[in-house]
Amino acid sequence: MTAPQFSNDFILELEQLFSWRRDVRHFQSKPVDNQILDQLLSVASLAPSVGLSQPWRYIKVETPALREAIYTLFQECNHQAAQEYASEQQQLYSNLKLSGLNDAPHHIAVFSEANPQQGKGLGRQTMPETTAYSTVMSIFSFWLAARAYNIGVGWVSILPPEKVKLILTVPKDWNFVAYLCVGYPQFQNIIPELEEKGWEKRNPERQQWIIK
Ligand SMILES: Cc1cc2nc3c(=O)[nH]c(=O)nc-3n(C[C@H](O)[C@H](O)[C@H](O)COP(=O)(O)O)c2cc1C
């Protein structure tokens, strides 16, 4: 097969895709076609992985009781997290919306198999955590591909992994990596929401190399 030559216009559009990817927490109720979700998963499955182990496991959480249990867990953890900030930051924290769990039409839980047979252990003897890194690579591919379809993804990490595993009854050796809210965003923004709300901003030093 002939490898494509990407045009300058494509490169510029691709850079816009990176710039306009957001962590989305405000969703329209309209569901995403299953075919598009399938396409996103197949793009995610093209991600690099240690030893070609493809350790990611994507669960579509559709059962209302399970979704509700995760949302309740999030609310508890989010409330507890707020208490851990000093009082002057608590107000700012409570103004943040840190998940779209209540309105996202799709909930996707992503796990990473700790010791998959696929890949035959190659590349991970000294760094077993590379299976989780591989899963994160696939999530980022999913996230960017979703943005190309104008679909938003929001990563929820304010959850205790062991409780998530119990709720979703997954095998013991699957590590919880991410709980994703997926759907059409209510709005698009080039500025991260945490920056708009005054919580944090990007640091230009992170665009600089450290030379040794
Ligand atoms: C590992 C990881 C965990 C995250 N967890 C949460 C979360 O629990 N709640 C949330 O609102 N955003 C979460 N985010 C999204 C970040 O807040 C977001 O990426 C960051 O503010 C930059 O915004 P942007 O993604 O729109 O550029 C997470 C992102 C990553 C990569």
Q: pLDDT (tens digit, 9 = 90+) per residue, 124-170?
A: 999 999 999 999 999 999 999 999 999 999 999 999 999 999 999 99
* Residue 53 near residue 128 (C-beta atoms within 8 A): no
**Nearest protein CA to atom 10 of ligand 1, as residue:** 98
The pLDDT of residue 88 is 85
Q: What percent of the chain has pLDDT over 70?
A: 100
Residue 114 and residue 13 in contact, taking contact as beta carbons nearer than 8 Å? no
Ligand 1 centroid vs 6 CA: distance in angstroms? 30
Asked if residues 161 and 132 have their Cβ atoms less than 8 Å apart, the reply is no
Q: What percent of the chain has pLDDT above 90? A: 99
Q: Determine what percent of the chain falls in helix, strand and coil, rounding each to the nearest 5.
A: 40, 15, 40
Is the pLDDT assigned to residue 78 strictly greater than 90?
yes
Residue pair 123/130 in contact (Cβ under 8 Å)? The answer is yes
Angle at 17 between CA 42 and CA 140, to 5 degrees: 45
CB 23 within 8 A of CB 193: yes
- Using DSSP's 3-state secondary structure scheme, residue 4 falls into coil
Instruction: Say yes or no to pLDDT of 182 above 90.
Output: yes
In words, the CATH class of domain 23-185 is alpha beta
Q: How far apart are CA 102 and CA 71, in angstroms?
A: 7
The preferred substitution site among 78, 102, 157 for testing ligand 1, maximizing ligand atoms within 8 Å of CB, is: 157
**Can you give the residue ranges of every domain in the chain?**
23-185
Tens-place pLDDT, residues 87-138: 889 999 999 999 999 999 999 999 999 999 999 999 999 999 999 999 999 9
pLDDT at 176: 98
Q: Is 26 in the pocket of ligand 1 (CB under 6 A)?
A: no
pLDDT at 61: 98
Q: Whose CA is nearest to atom 11 of ligand 1?
A: 98
Going by C-alpha positions, the residue among 54, 47, 41, 55 that lies closest to residue 174 is 55
Average pLDDT over every residue of 50-56: 98
- Tokens describing residue 155: 């990563």
